[in-house]
């Protein structure tokens, strides 16, 4: 497949030109084998909160972001921006602001029911991964498109689109051998200021990426069985 050489510009009104789509059909034996392998590999993914300081190949992160950006989106508006935060001073700033908000949350803002739901995971307001993981991504959703001339066009299904893209990001990172965590400090407004994002963007998630630390532990979770998550009619 040749790489795309055309540059995206926002579509508005005019229909896309239909082009033939004829991917080679995968033989079912191969399909079955691939699906079973992916199922097993994805079952090995764990959210990691303790990262090794070892660097990760930056190209893996770039490729994973490019994978995420192939996600389907409302009206194909691709309403996402991925910020790779490399500057240690900026990461310190993000951690300080996130921990300040989280402290308020854990000190009661979340409410008893929410705190009880989190207790089995043992999370708290200390977010070492924000500075310790070798890479930090912040995903923003573009609530609307902002043209160079200040023109605004609403984006549709932004939460769904960006959620799907983050799922694909996690999948790509995991299958490329990297661990990650989806962190959602709340409120997240400080991220727009710290990262100087434009007014049409709203922070969606912070994703530290790296390798698990040598002493990394994760909770002994049990996933719902297939029967528990699917039904047939």
Kindly list the residues in this chain that would bind ligand IYR in the complex (CB under 6 A). 102, 105, 118, 123, 183-186
Q: Which is nearer to ligand IYR, 31 or 184 (CB)?
A: 184
For the bound state, the minimum distance from the C-beta of residue 185 to ligand IYR, rounded and expressed in Å, comes to 6
User: For tokens 């995206």, what's the residue?
Assistant: 8
The helix/strand/coil state of 191 is helix
How far apart, in whole angstroms, are the C-alpha atoms of residue 198 and residue 191?
11
Q: Which is nearer to ligand IYR, 79 or 185 (CB)?
A: 185
Q: Which is nearer to ligand IYR, 96 or 146 (CB)?
A: 96
Which residue's beta carbon is nearest to the bound ligand IYR? Answer: 123
Could you tell me whether strands 144-146 and 135-142 are parallel, antiparallel, or unpaired per DSSP bridges?
A: unpaired
Q: What does the DSSP assignment read for 12-66?
A: -SSPPPP----PPPPPHHHHHHHHHHHHHHHHT--B-S-B------HHHHHHHHH
For the bound state, the minimum distance from the C-beta of residue 101 to ligand IYR, rounded and expressed in Å, comes to 8
Q: What are phi and psi of 145, to 5 degrees?
A: -85, 135
For the bound state, the minimum distance from the C-beta of residue 172 to ligand IYR, rounded and expressed in Å, comes to 21
For the bound state, the minimum distance from the C-beta of residue 110 to ligand IYR, rounded and expressed in Å, comes to 7
Q: Which is nearer to ligand IYR, 183 or 202 (CB)?
A: 183
For the bound state, the minimum distance from the C-beta of residue 121 to ligand IYR, rounded and expressed in Å, comes to 6
How far does Cα 178 stand from its chain's mean position? 13
How far does Cα 61 stand from its chain's mean position? 12
For the bound state, the minimum distance from the C-beta of residue 118 to ligand IYR, rounded and expressed in Å, comes to 6
* Residue 6: C-alpha distances to residues 2, 9, 20, 54, 146 (Å): 11, 9, 18, 37, 21
Residues 6+ apart with CB under 8 A from 131: 88, 91, 92, 95
Q: Which is nearer to ligand IYR, 95 or 155 (CB)?
A: 95
Q: Which is nearer to ligand IYR, 105 or 176 (CB)?
A: 105
């Amino acid at each position: 497949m040749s790489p795309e050489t055309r540059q995206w510009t926002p579509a508005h009104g005019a229909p896309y030109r239909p082009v033939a789509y004829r991917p080679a059909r995968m033989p079912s034996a191969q399909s079955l084998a691939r699906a079973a392998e992916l199922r097993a590999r994805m079952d090995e993914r764990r959210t990691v909160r303790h990262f090794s300081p070892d660097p990760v190949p930056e190209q893996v992160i770039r490729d994973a972001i490019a994978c995420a950006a192939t996600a389907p989106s409302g009206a194909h508006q691709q309403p996402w921006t991925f910020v790779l935060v490399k500057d240690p001073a900026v990461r310190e700033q993000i951690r300080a602001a996130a921990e300040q908000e989280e402290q308020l949350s854990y000190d009661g803002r979340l409410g008893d029911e929410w705190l009880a739901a989190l207790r089995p995971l043992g999370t708290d307001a200390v977010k070492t991964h924000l500075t310790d993981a070798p890479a930090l991504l912040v995903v923003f959703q573009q609530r609307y498109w902002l043209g160079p001339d200040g023109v605004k066009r609403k984006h549709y299904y932004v939460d769904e689109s960006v959620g799907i893209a983050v799922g694909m990001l996690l999948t790509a990172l995991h299958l490329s051998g990297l661990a990650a965590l989806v962190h959602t400090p709340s409120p997240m407004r400080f991220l727009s200021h710290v990262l100087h994002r434009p007014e049409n963007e709203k922070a969606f998630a912070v994703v530290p990426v790296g390798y698990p630390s040598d002493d990394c532990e994760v909770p002994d979770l049990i996933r719902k069985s297939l029967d528990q998550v699917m039904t047939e009619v």
